[in-house]
Structure 1
């Protein structure tokens, strides 16, 4: 399995966006989001065989290992089915691609297909700059608004004036692979404390106490790189807050503030975990990757992380399982989730029909089946089943099926603003070190969101 972390520090990306002149909401030669990213021609062609010979230049972030193998198999399958269309791929590491996107899209010869990150960190700013094609006509032609779960589709929608996320026009599509935050567990340690896989939040809380009493670290965590706090924190928010409120806050809908999302209780609970000794000793000085390795080495009962992120060797996965943190109110588990990557089309492309056909294929059932063949979590197609005898992968696929069937995904909380990830991590670190309060964390996050909403005119 492969790590597809979706929340990352974006300071470098913001510098690039500022330098590219995009944060102001327009680029030279356009009049803002409503110009060059218009919905395009009224009549679209959806039969690739009728498009003639086309070469599509594709920039993606599937730059190595299983990621590259999956994307290569998708491209090969597409070209085999439609030999008149050639895919010319360029792969870059995620951070490099995000930093390069603005200038690449502003160039005279941009890639036809690009992989912007969701939220205001990347996709929203590119929409405001008029650099991404409005895909509404293709969404209608291919039926994306019906075939994609609304909770996933919303992650690719923006108003054409660039002021609202999560509603309006479609500016990207998910690939048929999931990236989400889940809870990993050690099967033998769970059995050792006489517990079962938690199906209620009370059972999860009880397992933490039992592990502590048995001398087992309840939750492995490392935050020296400020890359370990958000996974459990976002999961707790999902457990305590209503799905609609979390989404409304991230999408700046109505007057929903972060205090209404479950975030305050999540912060408080996280602090209680730390005070009770439920977290890895000296976690503030431990790197997140080292914490994950410690978990794999049998040093903890639970570990919050992104799907496919455990540093497992061949044969090790049978000792572990995964689940979504149950909701405190007993409802269907809500999951911080998205596609493993998102594909958008340059507003300057000369091959929009062919590009949209590839987007449709990458979101299709064959692409999901190829994901399973490569041992990565599928998305969008609940009928795609896990193969082989890997119980951890079977758990992962079941989680993805639940998202596809029940529409229980929420966006990553930090998508709400370009700086919220850093704000949350900085204030959480201060609180956990005893230098500030839980209230200070919530207040700072709320101010960050309010300040950014004002820049959008909301």
Structure 2
């Protein structure tokens, strides 16, 4: 969750088309023909060919994050592959997620779409293609960290290769954390990032005592979710968290760790640590306010780093939310701006060429320049300033196996429950038990199906 300004089919049909799973896309029966309005009965794979098509092709790319980065990637790709035109279709995040299933099952589905919550269900229904054959043909395992690919398997085995399935390719990795204004921090007597969560709370208190707003939060859309998740990451075992995200039988968010994280959100609000209009402020606006010196700290993700570095230069730093002990591993929410290929595309090979370009050094530099972490950091110029802080934090989190996905991935309808629930926590209008119960109700409604 980045910057967000915000089947079952008839047995006869399934049997008649079963061979399509092992044949090239163009030889599939009518019900599996790319672009067909008929539904697809199960997971399908791309062909293994990496040949660049000779004819002129237009690919439609629908996405919800990082439009400036996407435009730059498209321009560089089209320069290298002039026969393939990529038409961007930007949607706000809330609209994109709410309409994702309808979009990907319609006759006008885009050729390529940003991977988002709900894609696992679409993968199971065969609405997006298993990219495992491309992963092997292009060698993506060598260019992309395993943790980033593992988040895109939808928990499935590839019918084409027998190994892990793959339903997306990253075009920039992300993590959330805390930005800080160095000059304002110094005025509050803060001279270094905190080593523990308790130290961070002491710094928030120091900022408040110095008559400054301690923490900027854009809770109108997703900033509040990042705050709660950052606290949850420091208290809840990652295995328990992943079980809940992945819908493991018996998993629950109603645990003491989640209660503690929720109580902390409430307590910080009672102490006046947030900007007064946090619930009415969008994440992008909280970032703009931070550049003007409206708060000492800001909760956000690395997608804001380019904007902050440009506006604040060396006056901005970054650190992952610290753990309860200085020796705790680094754990942070993160995912990637990743892209999937629609089963309805008529140009899977051209779409594969575009996805492979995203793993190239040229694309990696564009990704890095826009504040995201390239899949292969060794292929780009060493970052400086706040970008270097983020790269180091991400390196530690990856080494500690501490990158967790965003909590809205637990169920397609979870985003609204999280957003409204955390706003109520910030405003001290709901208790942890009722808030967590609401999340679990949404989880059970989805995973009981």
The reply to whether TM is greater than 0.5 is yes
Partner SS, residue 174 of structure 2 = strand
Per-residue CA distance 1:206-264 (angstroms, 9 max, x = gap): 211222222222212343x3543112111111122222322221112343321348322
Name the CA distance, whole Å, in 1 between partners of 2:195 and 2:288: 26
Name the CA distance, whole Å, in 2 between partners of 1:317 and 1:34: 51
The match for 2:393 is 399
Name the CA distance, whole Å, in 1 between partners of 2:151 and 2:13: 25
- In the TM superposition, residue 435 of structure 1 has moved relative to its aligned partner by 3.6
Report the more deviating stretch, 410-419 or 399-408: 399-408
Name the CA distance, whole Å, in 2 between partners of 1:101 and 1:290: 26
The 3 A distance-change label for structure 1 pair 243 and 375 is: same
Report the more deviating stretch, 425-434 or 229-238: 425-434
Whether the 8 Å contact between 1:237 and 1:261 is mirrored in structure 2 is no
Q: 1:89 aligns with which of 64, 87, 96?
A: 87
Partner SS, residue 41 of structure 2 = coil
The match for 1:112 is 111
- Aligned Cα RMSD in Å? 3.5
The 3 A distance-change label for structure 1 pair 263 and 151 is: farther
The match for 1:12 is none
| Equivalences for residues 289-308 of structure 1 within 5 A | 289-308=284-303
Whether the 8 Å contact between 1:151 and 1:410 is mirrored in structure 2 is no
The match for 1:76 is 78
1:430 pairs with 2:424: yes
| Equivalences for residues 13-162 of structure 1 within 5 A | 35=41, 37-41=43-47, 44-46=48-50, 48=51, 51-53=53-55, 55-61=57-63, 66-76=68-78, 78-79=80-81, 85-95=83-93, 98=97, 102=101, 105-107=104-106, 110-117=109-116, 119-120=117-118, 123-145=119-141, 147-159=143-155
Whether the 8 Å contact between 1:241 and 1:263 is mirrored in structure 2 is yes
The match for 1:19 is none
Name the CA distance, whole Å, in 2 between partners of 1:128 and 1:27: 16
Report the more deviating stretch, 319-328 or 404-413: 404-413
Report the more deviating stretch, 429-438 or 446-455: 429-438
The match for 1:334 is 331
The match for 2:168 is 172
The match for 2:361 is 365
1:319 pairs with 2:315: yes
Whether the 8 Å contact between 2:174 and 2:373 is mirrored in structure 1 is no
When normalised by structure 2's length, the TM-score is: 0.80
Kindly tell me the number of residue pairs found equivalent between the two proteins.
418
The 3 A distance-change label for structure 1 pair 6 and 252 is: farther
Per-residue CA distance 1:188-207 (angstroms, 9 max, x = gap): 12222332112332321221
- In the TM superposition, residue 54 of structure 1 has moved relative to its aligned partner by 5.7
- In the TM superposition, residue 116 of structure 1 has moved relative to its aligned partner by 3.5
Name the CA distance, whole Å, in 2 between partners of 1:363 and 1:100: 28
Report the more deviating stretch, 257-266 or 62-71: 62-71
When normalised by structure 1's length, the TM-score is: 0.79
1:351 pairs with 2:347: yes
1:218 pairs with 2:214: yes
Name the CA distance, whole Å, in 2 between partners of 1:33 and 1:333: 43
The 3 A distance-change label for structure 1 pair 7 and 265 is: farther
| Equivalences for residues 124-273 of structure 1 within 5 A | 124-145=120-141, 147-159=143-155, 169-175=165-171, 177-195=172-190, 196-223=192-219, 225-260=220-255, 262-273=257-268
Whether the 8 Å contact between 1:172 and 1:342 is mirrored in structure 2 is yes
Per-residue CA distance 1:79-114 (angstroms, 9 max, x = gap): 1xxx6x523323322445556655554455754322
In structure 1, stretches of 5+ residues that fail to align are: 9-23
Name the CA distance, whole Å, in 2 between partners of 1:200 and 1:27: 57
Whether the 8 Å contact between 1:56 and 1:112 is mirrored in structure 2 is no
Per-residue CA distance 1:366-420 (angstroms, 9 max, x = gap): 3112223x343223213245567x5223323333444555543111011101122
Name the CA distance, whole Å, in 1 between partners of 2:440 and 2:167: 27
Per-residue CA distance 1:280-333 (angstroms, 9 max, x = gap): 235345554443333222122111013233765945232211111112243221
